[in-house]
Structure 1
Amino acid sequence: MTTTKTWKLIVSGGSMPTQLIDYCKHNEIEIDHLESVPPDDELRRRVSGADFYLHGGDERLSAEVLDAAPSLKAVSFLGTGAGSFVDLDAARERSVQVLTTPGVNSASVAEFAVGLALGLQRRIFADLQGRGKTSRASTELTGSTVGVLGLGATGTALARLLTGGFSCEVLYHSRTRKPDVEAELGVTAVDLDELFTRCTTVFVCASLTPETTGLVGEAQLGESGPDFLVSTADPKVVDPAALRMALESGALSGATMDGYYTEPLPVPAEDEHGLLALDTVFATSHIAASSENAWSRMEDMAVDNLIMTIEQSTAQARR
Structure 2
Amino acid sequence: MKKKIIVYERLEKPVLKSLQEKYDVKFFKNIDTQTNEEFMNHLKEAEGIIGLALEVNKTLLDNAPNLKIVSNVSVGYNNLDIEELTKRHIMATNTPDVLTDTVADTVFGILLAAARRIPELDNLVKSKQWVEALGPDYYGVDIHHKTIGIIGMGRIGQAIAQRAKFGFDMNILYHSRTRKQDAETKFDATYCSLDDLLSKSDFPVLITPLTPETRGLISKREFQLMKPSAIFINASRGKTVVEKDLIAALQTGEIAAAGLDVFEQEPVSPNNSLLEMKNVVTLPHVGSSTYETELKMSELAARNLEAGLNGEKPPTMINPKVWELLTK
TM-score class, shorter-chain normalisation, is 0.7 to 0.9
Partner of 2:165: 163
Partner of 1:282: 281
**Aligned-residue CA RMSD in angstroms?**
3.2
* Preserved CA contact (<8 Å) 1:66 1:91: no
Flag structure 1 segments of 5+ consecutive residues without an equivalent: none
* Preserved CA contact (<8 Å) 2:147 2:200: yes
Partner of 2:51: 55
Q: Distance in 1 between matches of 2:56 and 2:274?
A: 24
C-alpha change, 1:158 and 1:203, in structure 2 (3 Å) is same
Instruction: Spell out, residue by residue over 1:251-308, the C-alpha distance to the aligned partner (whole angstroms, 9 max, x if none).
Output: 11111211221222332x2x4xx43333333321111101122222212211111112
* Preserved CA contact (<8 Å) 1:101 1:298: yes
Percent identity of the aligned residues?
Answer: 24
Instruction: Spell out, residue by residue over 1:50-84, the C-alpha distance to the aligned partner (whole angstroms, 9 max, x if none).
Output: 3321104xx6437598368433443211121333x
Q: Which runs of 4+ in 1 moved over 6 A?
A: none
Instruction: Measure how far apart 1:203 and its partner are.
Output: 0.9
Instruction: Measure how far apart 1:215 and its partner are.
Output: 1.3
- Secondary structure (helix, strand or coil) at the match of 2:311 reads helix
Residue type of the alignment partner of 1:265: V
Instruction: Measure how far apart 1:122 and its partner are.
Output: 0.6
Q: Which has the higher contact order (CA 8 A, sep 6+)?
A: 2
Residue type of the alignment partner of 2:184: E
Residue type of the alignment partner of 1:127: L
Q: Distance in 2 between matches of 1:64 and 1:235?
A: 24
Residue type of the alignment partner of 2:208: A
Partner of 1:112: 106
Residue type of the alignment partner of 1:309: G
**Size of the alignment, in residue pairs?**
300
Instruction: Measure how far apart 1:8 and its partner are.
Output: 1.6
C-alpha change, 1:33 and 1:258, in structure 2 (3 Å) is same
Q: How does 1:1-319 map to 2 (within 5 A)?
A: 6-12=2-8, 13=10, 15-18=12-15, 22=18, 25-26=21-22, 29-34=23-28, 36-38=29-31, 45-47=38-40, 48-49=43-44, 50-56=46-52, 60-61=54-55, 66=60, 69-71=63-65, 72-83=67-78, 86=79, 88=81, 92=85, 95=88, 97-130=91-124, 135-222=137-224, 224-225=226-227, 227-267=230-270, 269=271, 271=272, 274-312=273-311
Residue type of the alignment partner of 2:73: L
C-alpha change, 1:78 and 1:62, in structure 2 (3 Å) is closer
C-alpha change, 1:88 and 1:279, in structure 2 (3 Å) is farther
Instruction: Measure how far apart 1:312 and its partner are.
Output: 2.8
* Preserved CA contact (<8 Å) 1:205 1:232: yes
- Secondary structure (helix, strand or coil) at the match of 1:120 reads helix
- Secondary structure (helix, strand or coil) at the match of 2:25 reads strand
Residue type of the alignment partner of 2:112: L
* Preserved CA contact (<8 Å) 1:229 1:255: yes
Residue type of the alignment partner of 2:50: L
Flag structure 2 segments of 5+ consecutive residues without an equivalent: 313-322
Instruction: Measure how far apart 1:238 and its partner are.
Output: 1.5
- Secondary structure (helix, strand or coil) at the match of 2:218 reads coil
Residue type of the alignment partner of 1:207: P
- Secondary structure (helix, strand or coil) at the match of 1:138 reads coil
Instruction: Measure how far apart 1:189 and its partner are.
Output: 0.7
Q: Distance in 2 between matches of 1:166 and 1:142?
A: 5
C-alpha change, 1:212 and 1:199, in structure 2 (3 Å) is same
Residue type of the alignment partner of 1:37: N
C-alpha change, 1:94 and 1:69, in structure 2 (3 Å) is farther
